[in-house]
Structure 1
């Protein structure tokens, strides 16, 4: 698969989940490749496995370093490797808020419980003590609040009579090795998934005042101004008119602006068939690292160009506050 996402995996020990991620990345349909395995323990056994498999490794003990300094060194190694995402796989360090916030939406973790149950430690003992029928594992986005990010996928594992935390952990580990590679692959491949891309566009477009969605020429379109007099300010195009692009079509200010955007950033913008003649530009969405804040800004700008003046004036007043 072309244009695979590049992931860095952080570990602190044996790295069994790292190994599952690594070997899954060698499958033909994997959406990611492993470009670095890094650890806060130079003796972590997982480093040797990664090196044996030809993956670049980095290790730096956290002992004697403050959290921010160690995080900065780990992040520098990740950036040097060219990683798009960080995947935590048994990394036994709480990361500084700044590090986590810089990688918002691009840092994943696996936690041994069915979140939101049992955040933190001793999850299996807590599940057994509570009399739960199942334990399991959750893959989630990392946020400054511990184990509180969006849950992307889960696997349930039945709790047997007489289970101990150790025996339960052993079975959950099998589930983790199935769950984590699939969840990572699905998450990083969202930029190729028309349904996922449309969902993000729809959420941003319909968050603007007095908007609605209506199909136009077979494509989802977004309008402002009401049922009878509404005007389109955006369209979602899934490889229409023979292009390879999944794209958002929005209004520009002029044909000169459109042509300048296409010429200066052809990896981001294109002149769409039919709509381009009216000054609409296509923003390519099926590419890695789309700046969704910029997409939202384009939607608002295009909305302003189509909205009745009473609405745009209200938006201007709101912006002042």
Structure 2
């Protein structure tokens, strides 16, 4: 089976999420990577070095500069004539492009896979991760998104794939790039690649309190900073910090949940963490059902004390 993997990149380097997608694609057969962008030679060269990639297709065109889904999807659909499966990371970009590719190919998308059980058989979470479904496709071509925390990351070095130029339909004229606001995390690691994450919930009252309580602890631990949807909706932190079913799916070595009650949607995004530490004054909070270490305490006293002792 020939598999085409969507490479997420900034035209110079490859995003971490791509590495897990390459591992998943490798379980289906030979892997070809697609780099679509503008002046994206650096990203194509980086993709060629990823272990497990046999070939890199580079689509260098102004239409693909910001990887707009309306432009990239027709390119993928055109290239798919020579491939059996299209694999994308289950990220904002991947989940934007893959459904359009599936529609153009007139096939069903298989979303957020956790494992590859056969050529056309996969497992995926349903009911906010409370059940795992085994699904088998009967479509002639597969369109798949991959949950990054479920697969090991391919080695970013060690490969020696060839790079081949391809062209596509170009600008579909359906959308234009206006602007983007990128949340600056300073020296903190990005959520999906952080080994330690400190997350705050609605109990933190406001953005100033979130900053005073959560950030010093995260800085001491060299941790990424996350938040529950309630905290994001209340405006404490940007949307980029959200962990959960409608946010980012994470599985760090240590996840510290501060003032988070543990709604099922939040648990769906972090319950695969190796060690979960919960700090909440409500001893009946659902978060304690998945926590490895639970501290029933007032976060306004416990967290500053913990930070001080580190």
TM-score (norm 1): 0.30
Between Structure 1 and Structure 2, whose CA radius of gyration is higher? Answer: 1
Structure having greater relative contact order (Cα 8 Å, sep ≥ 6): 2
Q: Which is richer in helix?
A: 1
